[in-house]
Amino acid sequence: MDEQQLLNDITRNVQPLLDKGRVADYIPALARVNPRQFGMALATVEGEVCGAGDWQTRFSVQSVAKTFSLALALAADGERLWQRVGREPSGNPFNSLVQLEYEQGIPRNPFINAGALVVVDRLLTLTGDSWASVRDFLRSETGNDQIDFDGEIANSEASYGHRNAALAHFMASYGNLENPVGDVLRHYFQQCALSMNCAELAKAGLFLARHGIRADGSRLLSRSDAKRMNAVMLTCGTYDAAGEFAYRVGLPGKSGVGGGILAIVPGRYSLCVWSPGLDSHGNSVAGVEALDLFTTRTGLSVF
Ligand code: GLN
């Protein structure tokens, strides 16, 4: 397959969609991003990377980072983590509060915000510095020591992050946080504010395509845990649109409100698409279309 040709083609095809979505504006610093951007990168399990469009432009990773904190927490904690967070699709928006009360402070899954806060809390206990462990993992998977968070975006989110603060306090009231709420939120906002490009994210996701094996050949996750993480991405990674994403794309995927989506073809590729215009569920409009085109044209999906 000529992957470069395919990415070029897809990039051309999604251009009419670049003014269709809406840039996330509940984090003021994200509202200033130019929506008419699109990038796509593909990394092979052998470690080769190609890309098209704005694939080397850095953007705010946001909830795509939940993939990496979950992997690190699972690697360190194993099955214990699942006592504090579920693994069922929520059918609710990523920042919803309602379900958390019905379910006594146990979030439905690790990819909605409440679940990701629990994961960060656990990683903070296990490592002493959740943010630094995510950053160091990403630096070593990409070979780029410059990877860091954007302070303006982290501060912007901290100033307007009332919902996440509410979720965290609510879980603390049920005894489902081990660390002070302020610390958990700080580590969470910093991982959301990571600034990376499509090529870097595609490389960082390769451990999931390689059934748990990192860039240096060491094992992060057992084969089973890598398979399970891909399953949770497929069922929960795009929130209350996970059914539609599975229908259209058919790959494990994790989106973020910065407009990025990481998608995995197990045993073969890690893909990252980015375009800031979002649909009403917080998923990139052109990004989902690009992945839909990719799996339709190649016939590659997990089904
Ligand atoms: N930082 C964002 C938030 O917590 C991440 C949400 C997302 O990307 N879906 O609201």
Residues 276, 39 contacting (CB under 8 angstroms): no
Asked whether 275 lines ligand 1 (CB < 6 A), one says: no
Asked whether 284 lines ligand 1 (CB < 6 A), one says: no
Look at residue 92 in the predicted model and tell me its pLDDT: 87
C-alpha distances (whole Å) from 279 to each of 47, 146, 165, 255, 300 are 32, 31, 24, 12, 25
Asked whether 60 lines ligand 1 (CB < 6 A), one says: no
Active site residue 26: no
Active site residue 257: yes
Distance from CA of residue 208 to its chain's centroid? Answer: 13
Residue 303 lies in a domain: no
pLDDT at 244 over 90: yes
Query: For a substitution probing ligand 1, which of 192, 240, 254 has the most ligand atoms within 8 Å of its CB?
Result: 192
CATH number for 43: 3.40.710.10
Look at residue 23 in the predicted model and tell me its pLDDT: 95
Q: Among candidates 265, 285, 281, which has minimal Cα distance to 1?
A: 265
Query: For a substitution probing ligand 1, which of 63, 156, 280 has the most ligand atoms within 8 Å of its CB?
Result: 63
Residues 243, 91 contacting (CB under 8 angstroms): no
Mean pLDDT of 66-87: 96
Look at residue 29 in the predicted model and tell me its pLDDT: 87
Rounded to 5°, angle at Cα 300 from 295 and 303 = 100
Asked whether 164 lines ligand 1 (CB < 6 A), one says: yes
Q: Choose, from 49, 60, 61, 66, the residue flagged as catalytic.
A: 66
Average pLDDT, the chain: 96
Look at residue 93 in the predicted model and tell me its pLDDT: 87
For residue 7, give its domain range.
3-298
Res. 24 pLDDT band, cuts 50 70 90? very high
Res. 54 pLDDT band, cuts 50 70 90? very high
- Ramachandran sector of residue 168 (left: φ over 0; alpha: ψ -120 to 50; beta: rest): alpha
Give the containing element (helix H, strand E) for 202.
helix 198-204
Residues 41, 272 contacting (CB under 8 angstroms): yes
Res. 182 pLDDT band, cuts 50 70 90? very high
Active site residue 66: yes
Amino acid at site 272: C
pLDDT at 26 over 90: no
Look at residue 94 in the predicted model and tell me its pLDDT: 87
Mean pLDDT of 156-175: 96
Q: What percent of the chain has pLDDT over 90?
A: 94
Q: At what angle do helices 3-14 and 285-298 cross, to 10 degrees?
A: 140
Q: Among candidates 62, 189, 194, 184, which has minimal Cα distance to 141?
A: 194
Look at residue 215 in the predicted model and tell me its pLDDT: 97
pLDDT digits (tens, 9 = 90+) for 83-137: 999 999 998 888 889 999 999 999 999 999 999 999 999 999 999 999 999 999 9
d(CA 258, CA 61): 6
d(CA 63, CA 66): 5
Q: Among candidates 190, 186, 185, which has minimal Cα distance to 151?
A: 190
Mean pLDDT of 166-179: 97
Residues 23, 33 contacting (CB under 8 angstroms): yes
Q: Choose, from 60, 63, 69, 130, the residue flagged as catalytic.
A: 63
Residue 277 lies in a domain: yes
Res. 166 pLDDT band, cuts 50 70 90? very high
Q: How many domains in the chain?
A: 1
Q: Can you give the pTM of this predicted structure?
A: 0.97
Look at residue 1 in the predicted model and tell me its pLDDT: 82
**Number of other residues whose CB lies within 10 A of the CB of residue 92:** 16
Mean pLDDT of 40-53: 97
Mean pLDDT of 133-152: 97
d(CA 66, CA 73): 10
DSSP E strand stretches across the chain: 39-44, 49-53, 59-60, 148-149, 194-196, 253-255, 260-265, 269-274
Active site residue 160: no
Tell which atom from ligand 1 comes closest to the C-alpha of 62: 8
Residue 17 lies in a domain: yes
Q: What percent of the chain has pLDDT over 70?
A: 100
